Amino acid sequence: MNYPHPFFAREGWPFIIGTVAVAALVNFLTGWIWAAPFWLIALFVLQFFRDPPRIVPQKTNAVLSPADGRIVAVESVQDPYLKRDSIKVSVFMNVFNVHSNRSPVDGEVRNEWYFPGKFISANLPKASLENERNALWIKTDNGLDITCVQVAGLIAKRILCHVKTGDYLARGQRFGFIRFGSRVDVYLPPNSEIKVNIGDKVYATLTILAELPH
């Protein structure tokens, strides 16, 4: 699969251009000492919007991590979107993680839901149901249901999702972005074989969160 936005996410280009332009202008007018804080801000923005290509594991029943970060929840819960028993695996992204979101499975987007909400810290359990969030119901090729939810965080002010109902997603395909700290919840069938534990560091597409039943 060709990677459409090499190295930096398309959502970040206005911020990257803006911060670099301001730093360069201050540098030109006052010198590098006064411009140093502005260059540091520009470097932070560059690292935040980095979006490297990833190699997709070939294991067909694998559920891939939809985000970079750390596992903050692995628990049996009721999927609040599909109203079914499930296992929720949550990945928390801090401001130094890559924030591009990728599809955990191959499948068709059967429905989507957007909920305006609060902006409490995304590593708290209640953030899953109280914060601003965007959920996708993905029906896998072998008929299983996966719910993938982008959740805004304490300073995240924009959830971006580039797919809609009826679209097909391939494992590892880029589908969205959350600006400045957040989490992604994945609701899996209860008989899935979980491959991660709370506290594990994971990487979008590269890390296998679980294996689905055949």
Same domain, 143 and 77: yes
Indicate if the alpha-carbon torsion angle 155, 114, 123, 108 is positive or negative: negative
Same domain, 98 and 20: no
We report the CATH number of the domain holding residue 175 as 2.70.70.10
Confirm whether 157 is domain-assigned: yes
From residue 1, how far is each of 98, 170, 171, 173, 174 by CA, in Å?
20, 9, 10, 8, 11
pLDDT of residue 160: 86
Counted domains in the chain: 2
pLDDT of residue 99: 83
Same domain, 34 and 75: no
Residue 162: how many other CB atoms lie within 10 Å:
13
Of 153, 190, 148, 151, which Cα lies nearest the Cα of 173?
148
Give the integer Cα–Cα distance in Å for 25 and 23: 5
Q: Is 69 exposed, middle or buried (0-12, 13-18, 19+ CB in 10 A)?
A: buried
What residues are labeled active site? Answer: 182
pLDDT of residue 19: 92
Same domain, 23 and 113: no
Please name the residues in contact with 213: beta carbons below 8 A apart, sequence gap of 6 or more: 61, 144, 189, 191, 192, 193
pLDDT of residue 1: 43
pLDDT of residue 156: 54
Same domain, 29 and 90: no
Residue ranges of the chain with per-residue pLDDT less than 50: 1-2
DSSP classification of residue 170: -
Same domain, 83 and 177: yes
Give the integer Cα–Cα distance in Å for 92 and 142: 28
Domain span holding position 22: 10-48
pLDDT of residue 127: 65
Confirm whether 166 is domain-assigned: yes
